[in-house]
Structure 1
């Protein structure tokens, strides 16, 4: 009887996990954000502890895992619909290196020291800070690096070309919302942004899925249509 009962619980748990991953999304597996990392651990603990605790019945397993799945789905849904909520639940990347200069204040904010930064750089096959133009600490703890031009794999020095400046793309509109902080960092205003949109035949920022500015390359825009 114990084997039959355990088999039933395992089958139910398997089906519930399958449904949750399908509805919540594949990113719970890759643990893109701190929230999805914690959520996947708790989900595994809920199911694992329930399976091997004989005092907990099948109905309790269904209830606990289903409730946790509904909460996960709700958080993901709110994150898609409301940009401020997304910022709270997922966080924002931190620029640890800007224009080749380490931002010590950002290191302090993220409870990091220079040794830890260098360790993360080495894990990304970058062995000197002098190679880095921009370095971002992502929400999941990994880093993204944009190297200086002369340290990129295909360099202009190989072709005896003059070294060009490196610029980082700036997202100005995301999900139809104008990112005013990014506009301020760029030193422009919404009137300037609207002029750029008008050039591409776009009247309202609300129709824009994403707009990204890159110096010397202009504004890249993708609308909802």
Structure 2
């Protein structure tokens, strides 16, 4: 019975985490806030502790997870519908560098020191504060940077060059296996792919670690 109870709790915990992740949407991962992180930890603890505590009944686990899930989901709905409460529940971005100067008061408000700020700037390829015109600390703790004009990367628009259409690279072979769906997406068949492979000196897809197609360019092949 102990093994059966653990099995049921694992299945329920897995299903609950899966459903809540879907309900929260992709921003739950890509734009996770400190509150979201703590909420996920507590949800995991509710399920994890229940598996090893014989005094906690399965019905109580279900009740706790459901209530916690409703609270998290309600918070997300409120932040979407009520703009006034969004700042309280999720916080707001903070401009920590304004017109090339560090705002020390904002730095203290976000509980960050200069070394931490430099680390975040380096992650955006900014190795000197003199290169930065604006830096914004987002609600998830990441930084968004706007460089000064003389440090910004040159674009095609700046050079007045003709624009080329943007195409998405498509993986056709991965670990020696043909990606059939991707092959159909670019309107190729297996014969056409094998012909392209053999033209570059390979016998079959089994010899290919990675193959990438991009419109207007030769097929990229990498062997083992």
| TM-score bracket for this pair, using the shorter chain length | 0.5 to 0.7
Aligned-residue RMSD, C-alpha:
2.0
Identify unmatched segments of 5+ residues in structure 1: 160-225
Cα pair 2:9 2:47 within 8 Å, conserved: no
**Aligned pair 1:26/2:31, yes or no?**
no
What secondary structure does 2:96 align onto?
strand
**Aligned pair 1:87/2:87, yes or no?**
yes
List structure 1 segments (4+ residues) > 3 angstroms apart after TM superposition. Answer: none
Q: Aligned runs of 1:109-124 on 2, under 5 Å?
A: 109-124=109-124
Tell me by how many angstroms 1:31 deviates: 5.1
Identify unmatched segments of 5+ residues in structure 2: 160-224
- Residues 132-162 of structure 1, C-alpha deviations (whole Å, 9 max, x = no match): 1110011111111111122122169x85xxx
What is the rounded CA distance, in whole Å, between the counterparts of 2:15 and 2:119 in structure 1? 41
Q: Aligned runs of 1:8-87 on 2, under 5 Å?
A: 8-30=8-30, 32-87=32-87
- TM value normalised by structure 2: 0.66
Based on CA coordinates, which of the two structures has the bigger radius of gyration?
2
Cα pair 1:97 1:132 within 8 Å, conserved: yes
Tell me by how many angstroms 1:104 deviates: 1.4
- TM value normalised by structure 1: 0.65
What is the rounded CA distance, in whole Å, between the counterparts of 1:4 and 1:155 in structure 2? 62
Cα pair 2:24 2:73 within 8 Å, conserved: yes
Tell me by how many angstroms 1:36 deviates: 0.9
Q: Could you say if the C-alpha distance between residues 5 and 52 of structure 1 is closer, same or farther in structure 2, counting changes exceeding 3 Å? A: same
What residue is the counterpart of 1:134 in the other structure?
134
